[in-house]
């Protein structure tokens, strides 16, 4: 009977007092206590002795909410009619008051939702970092829906466990494990995608007996959830609580997902900048001008499958000797690029005091083994080119270098040791071959021969051999040979993505008459 204040009930009864002189009107609550009295000799005076009052229940939506009483009873021909009329007026007034209350309650609920959305817009936006969002969401959840314990879990990229990753928690320390078990049970029951209220009456669940769950959904994906709990014996969460928490979860999920995407975008941009910088630094490590002499003409080409590569080439002069190297780190990306730079530097430092190629690679291997991480190895071909055409080389597990003769014949130079970085005690032998004027030494990585076209077919060593043989026999320059290979390889690969780095170095033996200009075609 709290729908109408007492003075309004009294005003309604006052209209019937003149119609029943000397009679008292009363409105009683469900316990029989008088809420309002009107008429009669005096309020609270005794009713007519021995005369039973007329009574009729007051109901709302089929439920008794009180009683209307007329005492002492009026004559039957008038008392019942008056009682029915007053009863009708009161029930209409109560129904109208109930509708007003429902409308006010609905309006208040809408206001709370709008206010929550507005507040969340302030709390969860404005440059909030991803790491801080879950805690802010929980603070709002506990403020809007009172609960002593709250947990926000997020699904990770990896399989963490059935309870998900706890991104934030509020409440007593040591309760997280129990709450995560609740989340795991919700997921195991297939209820993680919808909001729900539950009460677990088991003694072992007493700390989190009363539960309210709302999923965090980004589009069609569930990315986590909000769990609020109360201990056994606490008030059960209401449908209104579930509605408010679901509204909060919907906006929180959007904010978290947007923050994730923003963070991923920033990280991607940062990595792209770093990789571009690494590519520029790495490209600068490659010789842009190769050493020239009257005896040898050099040309090289290097192409990275990614922003940074594991392939490299190098060329230096020591007195009358030209030293060339081509290598391939057994990996890709930043780690391979760093190991490549280290290998190149160590080889240069080791190639001093006239050491032969085998000693250079042996010394470099010992130094690199100390720094090589698991699975980080390099194959390389390292050659010393004398002015008289003598080539002394060491091949550490690399593709066999090619010696193309001016007469059209071709030789493959064998390996002289295992790949570098595998065994610090490894020693590398030296082989010698002599090149006449017009002959060429070709060093390359498997990114050339294993390049694939759009149908998955490999370029192959035989195609490389035939191209080199043809152009050497035609007395083409080193730069022309490299350029022809690049053109042929590009035509073969077409629009297929490069899977591996590719490097090629050509050392063409000259007659010694005049000074040749070495070239490096653009990368």
Write out pLDDT tens, residues 141-154: 888 888 899 989 88
For residue 419, the Cα-to-chain-centroid distance in whole angstroms is 38
Query: ∠ at Cα 501 (342, 335), nearest 5°?
Result: 40
Count CB neighbours of 466 within 10 A. 13
**What sign does the dihedral 332-333-337-338 (CA atoms) show?**
negative
% pLDDT > 70, the chain: 84
- The arithmetic mean of pLDDT across residues 456-485, rounded, is 93
- Strand locations in 401-522 (E): 402-404, 410-412, 431-434, 440-444, 502-509
CA atoms 202, 205, 209, 211: torsion sign? negative
Q: Does position 514 have pLDDT exceeding 80, yes or no?
A: no
Predicted confidence band of residue 447 (pLDDT cuts 50, 70, 90): confident
- Helix (H) / strand (E) element for 315: namely strand 311-318
- pLDDT attached to residue 128: 60
Q: What is the pLDDT of residue 515?
A: 39
DSSP 3-state percent helix, strand, coil across the chain (nearest 5): 40, 25, 35
DSSP string of 230-260, one letter each residue: E-TTSPPPPHHHHHHHHHHHHHHHHHHHHHH
The residue-averaged pLDDT of 500-511 equals 88
pLDDT of residue 173: 64
Lowest mean pLDDT among 129-133, 341-345, 380-384, 413-417: 129-133
Contact yes or no for 371/333 (Cβ under 8 A): no
Average pLDDT over residues 169-197: 82
Between CA 240 and CA 146 the distance in angstroms is: 12
- Cα–Cα distance for residue pair 138/154, rounded to 1 Å: 13
pLDDT of residue 76 exceeding 60, the answer is no
Instruction: State yes or no: pLDDT of 400 exceeds 60.
Output: yes
Distance, in Å, from the CA atom of 340 to the CA atom of 349, rounded to the nearest integer, reads 14
Helix residue spans in 170-238 (DSSP H): 176-188
> Which pLDDT score, from 0 to 100, does residue 275 have?
73
Neighbours of 223 (CB within 10 A): 18
Position 271 scores a pLDDT of 78
Residue 253 pLDDT > 50, yes or no? yes
Q: What is the pLDDT of residue 118?
A: 60
- Cβ atoms 16, 111 nearer than 8 A: no
Q: Answer yes or no: are the C-beta atoms of 183 and 227 closer than 8 Å.
A: yes
pLDDT at 47: 46
Give the integer Cα–Cα distance in Å for 501 and 303. Answer: 6
Q: In what order do the strands lie in the sheet with 34-39?
A: 34-39, 24-28, 63-71, 54-60
Query: Minimal CA–CA distance to 444: which of 481, 407, 491, 392?
Result: 481
Record the tokens describing residue 308, joined without a space.
Answer: 């940074």
Structure tokens at 357: 């190629």
Residue 505 has phi, psi (to 5 degrees) of -135, 130
pLDDT digits (tens, 9 = 90+) for 78-128: 778 888 888 888 888 888 887 777 766 665 665 566 566 666 665 565 556
Q: How confident is the model at residue 42 (pLDDT cuts 50, 70, 90)?
A: very low
What are the structural domain ranges in the chain? 6-111, 130-264, 286-509
Q: Check residue 51 and give its pLDDT.
A: 67
- pLDDT tens sequence across 18-31: 888 888 899 998 88
Residue 256 banded pLDDT, cuts 50, 70, 90: confident
pLDDT above 90 (res 266): no
Tokens in use for 382? 């390292």
273 to 248, 259, 307: CA distances (angstroms)? 37, 21, 10
Which segment of 114-118, 170-174, 276-280, 393-397 scores lowest on mean pLDDT? 114-118
What stretch of H or E contains 107? helix 76-123
Neighbouring residues of 141: CB distance < 8 A, sequence distance ≥ 6: 147, 150, 152, 226, 228, 245, 248
Most confident of 48-62, 88-102, 478-492: 478-492
Q: CATH topology for 286-509? A: Phosphatase 2c; domain 1 (3.60.40)
- Strand order of the sheet with strand 390-396? 311-318, 321-329, 378-385, 390-396, 431-434
3-state helix/strand/coil string of 333-351: HHHHHHHHHHHHHHHHHHC
Q: If you average pLDDT over each of 102-111, 160-169, 339-348, which comes out highest?
A: 339-348
Residue range 194-221: average pLDDT? 90
Most confident range, picked from 113-117, 264-268, 437-441: 437-441
Give the pLDDT of residue 373: 66
Is residue 494 within 8 A of residue 481, CB to CB? The reply is no
pTM for the full predicted model? 0.57
Whether the pLDDT of residue 238 is over 70: the answer is yes
Give the Å distances, CA to CA, from 34 to 4, 143, 155, 176, 455: 14, 40, 59, 52, 94
pLDDT band at 297 (very low <50, low <70, confident <90, very high): very high
Q: Show the tokens assigned to 288.
A: 């842009």
Tokens 């320390």 — which residue? 173
Query: What tokens appear for 329 in the block?
Result: 């780190």
Q: Is the pLDDT of residue 174 over 50?
A: yes
Winning range, highest mean pLDDT, from 102-116, 335-349, 501-515: 335-349
Region 298-316: mean pLDDT is 82
Preceding amide of 342 cis, omega within 30: no
Give per-residue pLDDT as tens, 404-417.
999 999 999 999 99
Rounded to whole angstroms, the Cα distance separating 358 from 350 reads: 11
**Residue 371 has what pLDDT?**
72
Give the three-state DSSP class for 318: strand
The pLDDT, as a whole number, for residue 168 is 86
**Which homologous superfamily is 130-264 in?**
GAF domain (3.30.450.40)
- Ranking 25-34, 118-127, 320-329, 462-471 by mean pLDDT, the lowest is 118-127
Cβ burial of 439 (10 Å; 0-12, 13-18, 19+) is: buried
Q: Could you tell me the strand order of the sheet in which 502-509 lies?
A: 296-303, 502-509, 440-444, 402-404, 410-412
The chain-wide mean pLDDT, for the chain, equals 83
Q: 327: part of which helix (H) or strand (E)?
A: strand 321-329
Yes or no: say if 27 and 66 are a contact pair by the CB < 8 Å rule.
Answer: yes
Q: Identify the pLDDT of residue 397.
A: 94
């Amino acid at each position: 009977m709290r729908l109408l204040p007492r003075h309004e009930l009294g005003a309604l009864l006052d209209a019937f007092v003149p119609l029943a002189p000397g009679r008292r009107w009363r409105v009683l609550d469900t316990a029989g206590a008088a809420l309002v009295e009107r008429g009669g000799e005096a309020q609270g005076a005794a009713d007519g002795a021995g005369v039973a009052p007329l009574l009729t229940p007051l109901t709302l939506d089929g439920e008794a909410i009180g009683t209307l009483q007329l005492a002492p009873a009026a004559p039957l021909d008038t008392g019942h009619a008056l009682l029915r009329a007053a009863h009708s007026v009161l029930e209409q007034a109560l129904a109208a008051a109930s509708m007003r209350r429902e409308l006010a309650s609905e309006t208040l609920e809408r206001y709370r939702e709008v206010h929550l959305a507005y507040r969340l817009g302030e709390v969860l936006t404005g440059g909030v970092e991803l790491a801080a969002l879950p805690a802010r969401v929980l603070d709002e959840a506990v403020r809007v829906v009172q609960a002593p314990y709250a947990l926000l879990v997020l699904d990770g990229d990896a399989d963490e466990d059935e309870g998900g990753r706890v991104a934030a928690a509020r409440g007593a320390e040591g309760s997280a494990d129990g709450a995560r078990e609740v989340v795991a049970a919700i997921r195991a029951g297939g209820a993680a995608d919808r909001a729900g209220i539950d009460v677990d009456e088991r003694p072992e669940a007493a700390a989190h007996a009363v539960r309210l769950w709302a999923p965090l959904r980004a589009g069609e994906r569930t990315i986590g959830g909000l769990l609020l709990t109360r201990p056994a014996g606490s008030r059960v969460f209401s449908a209104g609580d579930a509605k408010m928490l679901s509204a909060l979860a919907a906006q929180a999920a959007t904010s978290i997902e947007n923050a994730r995407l923003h963070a991923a975008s920033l990280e991607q941009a940062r990595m792209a900048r770093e990789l571009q910088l690494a590519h520029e630094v790495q490209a600068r490590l490659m010789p842009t001008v190769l050493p020239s002499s009257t005896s040898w003409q050099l040309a090289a080409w290097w192409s990275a499958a990614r922003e940074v590569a594991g392939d490299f080439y190098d060329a230096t002069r020591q007195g009358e000797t030209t030293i060339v190297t081509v290598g391939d780190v057994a990996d890709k990306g930043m780690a391979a690029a760093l190991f490549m730079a280290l290998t190149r530097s160590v080889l240069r430092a080791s190639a001093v005091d006239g050491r032969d190629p085998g000693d250079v690679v042996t010394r470099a291997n010992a130094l690199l083994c100390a720094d090589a991480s698991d699975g980080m190895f390099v194959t390389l071909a390292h050659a010393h080119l004398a002015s008289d055409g003598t080539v002394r080389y060491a091949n550490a597990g690399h593709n066999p270098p090619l010696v193309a003769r001016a007469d059209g014949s071709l030789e493959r130079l064998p390996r002289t040791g295992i790949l570098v970085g595998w065994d610090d005690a490894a020693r590398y032998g030296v082989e010698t071959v002599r090149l006449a004027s017009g002959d060429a030494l070709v060093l390359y990585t498997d990114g050339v021969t294993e390049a694939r076209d759009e149908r998955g077919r490999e370029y192959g060593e035989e195609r490389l051999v035939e191209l080199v043989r043809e152009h050497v026999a035609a007395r083409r320059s080193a730069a022309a040979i490299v350029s022809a290979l690049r053109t042929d390889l590009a035509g073969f690969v077409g629009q297929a993505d490069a899977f591996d780095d590719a490097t090629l170095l050509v050392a063409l033996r000259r007659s010694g008459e005049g000074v040749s200009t070495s070239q490096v075609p653009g990368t």
